[in-house]
Each structure stands twice: as C-alpha cells, then as structure tokens.
Structure 1
C-alpha cells in the first residue's frame, strides 16, 4: 500500500485527513479532539500523532455549530497576589490551548454585597458563554457562586477548596501540613516567640495555613502566646502588620506569613525599623513566588505548584467525566533560604 503523504504546501488538513493517517474512524477523531471520556490511551496517541504530523487545527466555529459547546473555558480570579494569578493563568492556558479551546479570564469582586456580586455574575454569563469555569480561591469557597453555576448547569473545577468538598472536583495541596513543616523548621532553629501573618478572611487556604502552623507549635510544646496579625496577602498589608509586630515587647523572633507578598512587606518593615533579617528576626512566607528571590535576604518559603494546579484543574474540567467530590492533592516542598536563622540569645 502506498503511504499517505501530505506535502507542506498542500491545503489545510481536515479531520478526514487525520482519520486516514491515524487509521481510525472520523467519529474516533472527533472524540479525541473534543476530550470525551473513555477514550483509550492507544487511540488518543494515534490521533494526536496524526494531528501533530499534519499540523491540523480544528475549526472552533464549526465545532461550536456542531454541538452545544462554545469551546471556551473561563478562569475566575479574585486574588491580590500578581504572582499567584499569573502562574494560575499560565497553567490553565497551556492546557486549554493544547485542546484547541479558548481561554476567557475575568476578575470578580467577591467582597461586595451579595446583590452586587450576583449582578456581576449575571453580566458575566449573559455576555460570554463558557463550557465551564476554573475557580480560584477565595471564589472556590464562595457558596453563592457555586449555587449560581449549579443552577445554570455550568460545570466547574475548584482550586484549593475548603468548604463542601462533595459539591465538585478540585485540586489542592495540604496547606496545614505545609505550614506545620515551616513551624517545625523554625522550632528546630530554636525559636520560641512567634507571630503569624494572616491572609484575607475569605481565603480559606490562608486559614488552613495559619491553623496548621499554630497547631504544630502547640504540639511541639510552645508555651508563649502566638501573635496574630492581618497581612491581607499584599505587600502593603505586610508592611503595616509588620510594623505592629516588631513594636511588640518582647518582640517575636520569627514571623510566618501566609504568602510571600506579605512576608516581603514584613521584611520592608524590619528594614525601616533598623532590624536585620534574619539576625534580629526570622521571616518566612508561602508560595515560592518570584518575590521570594527578589528580596534580600532570599525568602524561606513553602513551594506550592501553582502552575501545575492550574494545569490539573483545566485538564479535569476538559475531561468532561464526572469527578464529584474528588479533591486531588499535589505535593509541596519547604524551601530553606537566607531569611531564617537561629535567634539571638539576647533580644528585647
């Protein structure tokens, strides 16, 4: 049999071309392209190899007309950390693009009254139809949003959910365990006076980090009250809360901030007050964002795979098979840098 050839200068490849080259039916090609469930790995590999060889690009308009899907995935954000949002966007976009979908990104303000928030959602859905949404914290735990999407039978996958996990699929890390590992690190260095920089009240993952850190210190036998401060997940919030913390007497010897942005703010407050990190006070954060290597000394932090979480959430959404109540956990890693050290023996 003479093999099929497709010259580089030939007309744009079609699904029929992909079917012939891969040796499968047109329906099978369609199932792979549309990300339908229960497609064997062997079939998927054949079709994807043919798509790559032919440089085949599906016609999104034709696909939309052929069915009820728009081939658009929405990403909803309400987070003050630019690093977090950029990494999530990159992860979701890479997966969406590889499946020949389009990505729509929207920021919504969940801090407004319920009526205003509902109006935002109504406008969002009215103006732009999507096949589903990736929800990021704190929206992952916004029950008004979940009710809104479910009432309209719109699929979603949540990143770092904390409430009502049985409602739908999600991707997370063990925030409490990660914060506990940081508490152990500071304890092993010899610290006994601690402060915690909280995140926004609506951000349940931040609450899990705070609680995990404090619970581990209590397990280790900490007898000194742990100071709480509100960093709000922002650099400016970290400065303001940091100034309050370092004014305490006795001053904490170690500060755990629930994200890197607020940790950097604490370091700025220390510098302004003439204190050296880590000589006078140890500071650590959470995320391992770009800011962790933009401050000096480099920030000790917890690495969470933000981009990979976005990828996993998008892939789960595009699979279209039901995963109700399944929260998949990814790993984390403690990243020890120069912002933490043993405390001085004499410190006021």
Structure 2
C-alpha cells in the first residue's frame, strides 16, 4: 500500500478502515461501501459497521481519499425560477459534495438547445455525474441525452420519476391534499388556488390534489378561483391581484410554492387586508422565504436540502459503481413532507357565499 492509500485508510481521528472492519467482523471493502453510501449492503451489516465507526470514533479523511481516487466532479444542471428553492438546493448539494470530497459544477440552461449545450459544457468540465432538478428533471429530451451519453444521473424533486433514472422526491400529491384538508378543517370553503409552472410535474400534481380534495368535500371550484402562476414571485403578484379583485373574495388562497404565497401576502397588505384575519394564505416547500415574510407562512415542508444531500450521495454511489465496473442501478427515494402551521392561517372569517 502506498503512502497516500495508507493516509486515506487512516481516518482523521486515528482509527483505520481495517480497525473498523475488525470491530464489525466484516471486510474493509464492506466498510468502504458503507462509508460511500453504497446500497448493496444489508441493513444489519450497515448497522454493525456504523456502530463500529461510532465506537472507534473513526472519521473519514476526505482530503486523503480525494488524493487517492482523484477529484470527483458533480454537475448540477439548473433552470428554476424560484430563487428560494434553488438556494436551498445549492446549499444541500454543496454541503454533501464537501462531505464526499467532491467538486460541484453548475450550469444554467433555458430551452432544449440550451440544455444540450449545458450538458456538453458540464461533460467538458469533467463532470462524472449530473444532478437534474426541476423543471429539467421532467425534460425527457435532456434525460435521454444523458442516458445516451451513459453518464450517471439523479433527478431531484420530480413528481413522476422515470424508470432507469435515479430520483429523490416527496409525494407532492399527498402534500397538497394535506394542505387542502387543513384549510377545510379551519372552516374555509371559498378557497382559491395559484397554479405553478405547467411544465413542472409537481405543479400538475399539487393542482390535481387540490381539485380532487375539494371535490371530495362536495365543493365546486369555479374557474375564476384558479389563477395560473409560474413559481415566481412576480407571477404570484399577478395571480393574487386577479383573485383578490373578485367579489366575493376567497377567504383562503393556497399557492403552489412559497414565492407565490409571499406575493399573495404582499398584495393583500397593499389592499389593506389583514392576514390571516381577512385572508388565510398558504404555500408549499417551506423555503427560507416562508419565515422572512410577515406573517410567517403556513406551508408544506419539502426537505429540499436533505433531498439534495441524498441526491449527491446517490450520484456519488453511481459514479463509484461505474468506475468499479459494477452494474448500474437507479433507485427512487421518497422523503417525508410535513405540514408546518404558522401565523398566516386562521379560521374562515365568513361563511361560504
């Protein structure tokens, strides 16, 4: 074993991979698989290795490992109108790339021709694998191009993951149903909805869930109670002005993301409406904007940072399996969502009209 390999085997805390292997009663290769997040390890074995790591206080020496295996480059192809969503995604991805001793490469794209060029730039920059968040995670042309190239890919926050493409997501449909039921439980019946970008599968499912839940409650949703948005703050302003100009006004507005919900609150304030006394406003995602607006926003928490971290781990696992000549796998991981109630929601101020 050369000096760099010995340094990589010895963790930052002094114990070595071989110490961990002996304590757990497994091979050093199995310890390496657990450390790298490889899915081809049984839960029982993983638990034994993790217990040994904790007992010996083993810490991965990322710098030495990077020197031994070479820098691993994770590409991120993005085109998302929500700055808050993108910010949370980038923080999670950067953090986990650091944990894996990987470098994060970013490329923005808009449109099909731009997607092709952005993918080519990432590959030219040496990307070993690519993360694809919304809306590109639903762009079959982009995913087909990546598949033809043979580069490992993970789709992040797609509502309809494709077979053969690894994915990390939440259940957007059930999340939106949960929020709609919550509004109904507060006594709201005259509920309006702001749709997200129609090219995003999460937007499609959130709207469908809202409509299905209202129908189950025996409540019709007139067309004028639904406004089209694009997941941007500006589109939320336009949608809110349309909805709040109606008579009677809705008693609650459910926006497909937090950026648009924040815009609804701003328009309501401009009309001298009190939130939530005159109007309940709810969003989706629980991005930082949810706690920077006033009043703070009731929303569905989508663990964007955790999704990005898991996506990086899955991608790194795929890259290392590819380098080792192992068969390609494309797991789909479903993370939990949470209803977070804050000051922007309250009981209906008036009966349904």
Instruction: State the TM bucket, normalised to the shorter chain.
Output: 0.7 to 0.9
1:140 to 137, 142, 152: 137
* Alpha-carbon distance change, 37 to 295 in structure 1, aligned in 2, over 3 angstroms: closer
Measure the CA separation in 1 of the matches of 2:94 and 2:54.
19
Tell me the equivalent position of 1:202: 199
* Alpha-carbon distance change, 92 to 16 in structure 1, aligned in 2, over 3 angstroms: closer
* Alpha-carbon distance change, 58 to 213 in structure 1, aligned in 2, over 3 angstroms: same
Q: In the alignment, is the contact (CA less than 8 A) between 1:193 and 1:252 conserved in 2?
A: yes
Deviations 1:94-136 (A, max 9, x none): 3222222222222222xx3x3343233223322x121211211
Measure the CA separation in 1 of the matches of 2:114 and 2:77.
16
Tell me the equivalent position of 1:8: none
Measure the CA separation in 2 of the matches of 1:56 and 1:48.
17
Q: In the alignment, is the contact (CA less than 8 A) between 1:33 and 1:99 conserved in 2?
A: no
2:350 to 338, 341, 345: 345
2:222 to 222, 225, 229: 225
Classify the secondary structure of the residue corresponding to 2:146: helix
2:341 to 331, 336, 339: 336
Report the alpha carbon displacement of residue 141 of structure 1 after superposing the two structures with TM: 0.8
CA RMSD in angstroms, aligned pairs only: 3.1
Measure the CA separation in 2 of the matches of 1:157 and 1:104.
15
Deviations 1:45-75 (A, max 9, x none): 76798894695632535523xxxxx511122
Tell me the equivalent position of 2:324: none
Q: In the alignment, is the contact (CA less than 8 A) between 1:199 and 1:232 conserved in 2?
A: yes
Classify the secondary structure of the residue corresponding to 1:58: helix
What are structure 2's unaligned runs of at least 5 residues? 11-15, 322-326
Classify the secondary structure of the residue corresponding to 2:234: helix
Q: In the alignment, is the contact (CA less than 8 A) between 1:239 and 1:265 conserved in 2?
A: yes
Report the alpha carbon displacement of residue 282 of structure 1 after superposing the two structures with TM: 1.4
TM-score (normalised: structure 2): 0.82
Measure the CA separation in 1 of the matches of 2:89 and 2:67.
27
Tell me the equivalent position of 1:7: none
Q: In the alignment, is the contact (CA less than 8 A) between 1:29 and 1:47 conserved in 2?
A: no
Measure the CA separation in 2 of the matches of 1:224 and 1:143.
32
Report the alpha carbon displacement of residue 139 of structure 1 after superposing the two structures with TM: 1.2
Classify the secondary structure of the residue corresponding to 1:167: coil
Report the alpha carbon displacement of residue 92 of structure 1 after superposing the two structures with TM: 2.2
Report the alpha carbon displacement of residue 347 of structure 1 after superposing the two structures with TM: 8.9
Measure the CA separation in 2 of the matches of 1:19 and 1:76.
35
Tell me the equivalent position of 2:290: 292
Deviations 1:64-95 (A, max 9, x none): 3xxxxx51112222212222122222222232
Measure the CA separation in 2 of the matches of 1:54 and 1:317.
19
Report the alpha carbon displacement of residue 177 of structure 1 after superposing the two structures with TM: 0.8
Deviations 1:285-305 (A, max 9, x none): 011122222222221111111
* 1:86 and 2:92 are equivalent in the alignment: no
Measure the CA separation in 2 of the matches of 1:333 and 1:301.
9
Tell me the equivalent position of 2:104: 103
Q: In the alignment, is the contact (CA less than 8 A) between 2:107 and 2:118 conserved in 1?
A: no
Measure the CA separation in 1 of the matches of 2:32 and 2:202.
39
TM-score (normalised: structure 1): 0.83
Deviations 1:16-55 (A, max 9, x none): 6546655778877876776666465356776798894695
Q: In the alignment, is the contact (CA less than 8 A) between 2:8 and 2:68 conserved in 1?
A: no
* Alpha-carbon distance change, 179 to 163 in structure 1, aligned in 2, over 3 angstroms: closer
* 1:63 and 2:63 are equivalent in the alignment: no
Q: Which has the larger radius of gyration?
A: 1
What are structure 1's unaligned runs of at least 5 residues? 1-10, 65-69
Give the alignment of 1:300-315 within 5 angstroms: 300-315=298-313
Report the alpha carbon displacement of residue 330 of structure 1 after superposing the two structures with TM: 1.1
* Alpha-carbon distance change, 116 to 76 in structure 1, aligned in 2, over 3 angstroms: closer
